[in-house]
Amino acid sequence: MTTYKGINGFAVQSVASDPSPLDEGQVWYNNASYAFKLAAATTAGTWASGGNLNNARRTFNGGAGTQIATIVFGGRSPATPTQNVNYSESYNGSAWTNTPNINTARSGAAGAGTQTAALMFGGYADPGNTGATESWNGSSWTTLPASMNSAREQLAGVGLQTAALAFGGNSPTNNLTESWSGSSWTTLPATLNTARNFGGGAGIQTAALAFGGNNPSPAGTTATESWNGSIWTTVNSLNTVRQSNAGFGTQTAAVSAGGGSPALPTVTNAVETWNGTSWTTSPGSLATARAVMAGTGSALSGLVSGGLTATAATAATEEWTGPGSPVTKTITTS
pLDDT digit string (tens) for 27-65?
Answer: 988 998 888 888 776 668 999 999 999 999 988 768 999
pLDDT digit string (tens) for 241-283?
Answer: 999 999 999 999 999 999 999 888 899 999 999 999 999 999 9
Q: What is the pLDDT of residue 1?
A: 54
Strand partners, 161: none
Highest mean pLDDT range out of 38-47, 184-193, 315-324? 184-193
Number of residues written out for the chain: 334
Domain positions in the chain: 4-41, 46-321
State what percent of residues in the chain have pLDDT above 70: 94
SS3 letters for 30-84? ECCCCEEEEEEECCCCEEEECCCCCCCEECCCCEEEECCEEEEECCECCCCCCCE
pLDDT digit string (tens) for 291-318?
Answer: 999 999 999 999 999 999 988 999 999 9
Per-residue pLDDT band at 4 (split at 50, 70, 90): very low
32: left (phi over 0), alpha (psi -120 to 50) or beta: alpha
CATH number of 46-321: 2.120.10.80
Q: Order of strands, edge to edge, in the sheet holding 156-160? A: 156-160, 163-167, 177-180, 185-187
Q: What is the pLDDT of residue 10?
A: 52
Give the DSSP letter string of 83-123: -B---EEEE-SS-EEE-PPPSS--BS-EEEE-SSSEEEE--
Of 148 and 220, more confident: 148
Q: pTM score, two decimals?
A: 0.88
pLDDT digit string (tens) for 112-133?
Answer: 999 999 999 999 998 999 999 9
